[in-house]
């Protein structure tokens, strides 16, 4: 696995960032987002990439996230009720639909700023926002801030973890250290952040 990812790191930057953007798009789509670990993908991109790819990684994450969320928003605007009472809605669960709508009603568009930090809801909130007839302009503005904060956080954590790998003896794999340390750091940071974010929505 490590060797395979290392080979990916040798791909041209545009191709690598295109793949990352596609992963982010899938991560932002309900149901698919549960199967695609977007945070791990960013850490892997930092681990196998080069220091100069930081800005490209940030841009790829932003574009992929906003594309996926916009798609979910537009689908929610037109088909939210049909989806909610379909098999897809059953898979998502009525309790999650109600919770997503409650978060948006209490917090409004600002909750899209924190959506990336809420597992499962990061993909469901755009769909619910469309169903609640939120202004797309407002949605996009808040979603852009949220995507930037999420991408920036994971890029910073991944870069820090990669730097730590360079200081360790024995020339350990930058990819393994970046993903391992990055996941630990992210878990600590996001655990506290999610508690505050749910309090904000409550």
DSSP 50-82: -GGGHHHHHHHHHHHHHHHHHHHHHHHHHHHHH
CA dihedral over 192, 96, 104, 122, signed as positive or negative: positive
Q: CB neighbours of 40 closer than 8 A, spacing ≥ 6? A: 179, 183
> Within its chain, how far is the Cα of 48 from the centroid?
19
Domain locations along the chain: 35-163
Alpha helix ranges (H) inside the chain: 2-8, 13-27, 32-35, 38-48, 54-84, 87-92, 94-107, 111-114, 121-131, 136-167, 174-201
In tens digits, what is the pLDDT along the chain, a chain of 202 residues?
445 455 555 567 777 788 888 888 888 777 666 566 677 777 777 766 665 677 888 888 899 989 999 998 998 888 888 888 888 778 878 888 888 888 888 877 787 888 787 777 787 888 889 888 888 999 999 999 988 988 888 788 777 777 776 666 655 565 666 666 666 666 665 566 556 555 544 5
Residue pair 130/162 in contact by the 8 Å Cβ criterion: no
Nearest to 60 by CA among 114, 23, 34: 23
**The token pair that represents 42 in the structure block:** 């960013």
**The token pair that represents 123 in the structure block:** 């993909």
Helix axes 136-167, 121-131, angle to 10 degrees: 170
Measured CA distances, 48 to 15, 59, 129, 159 (Å) = 13, 17, 36, 11
Q: Does the pTM of the predicted model rise above 0.85?
A: no
């Amino acid at each position: 696995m490590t060797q395979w990812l290392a080979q990916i790191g040798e791909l041209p930057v545009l191709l690598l960032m295109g793949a990352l953007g596609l992963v982010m798009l899938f991560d932002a789509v309900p149901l698919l987002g549960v199967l695609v670990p977007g945070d791990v993908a960013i850490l892997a991109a930092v681990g196998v990439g080069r220091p100069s790819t930081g800005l490209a990684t940030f841009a790829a994450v932003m574009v992929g996230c906003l594309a996926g969320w916009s798609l979910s928003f537009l689908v929610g605007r037109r088909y939210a009720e049909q989806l909610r009472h379909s098999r897809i809605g059953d898979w998502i669960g009525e309790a999650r639909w109600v919770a997503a709508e409650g978060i948006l009603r209490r917090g409004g568009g600002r909750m899209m700023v924190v959506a990336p930090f809420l597992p499962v809801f990061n993909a469901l909130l755009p769909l619910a926002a469309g169903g609640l007839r939120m202004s797309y302009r407002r949605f996009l503005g808040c979603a852009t801030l949220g995507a930037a904060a999420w991408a920036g956080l994971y890029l910073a954590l991944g870069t820090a973890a990669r730097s730590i790998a360079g200081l360790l003896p024995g020339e350990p794999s930058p990819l393994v250290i970046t993903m391992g340390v990055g996941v630990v750091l992210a878990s600590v940071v996001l655990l506290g952040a999610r508690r505050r974010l749910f309090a904000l929505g409550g």
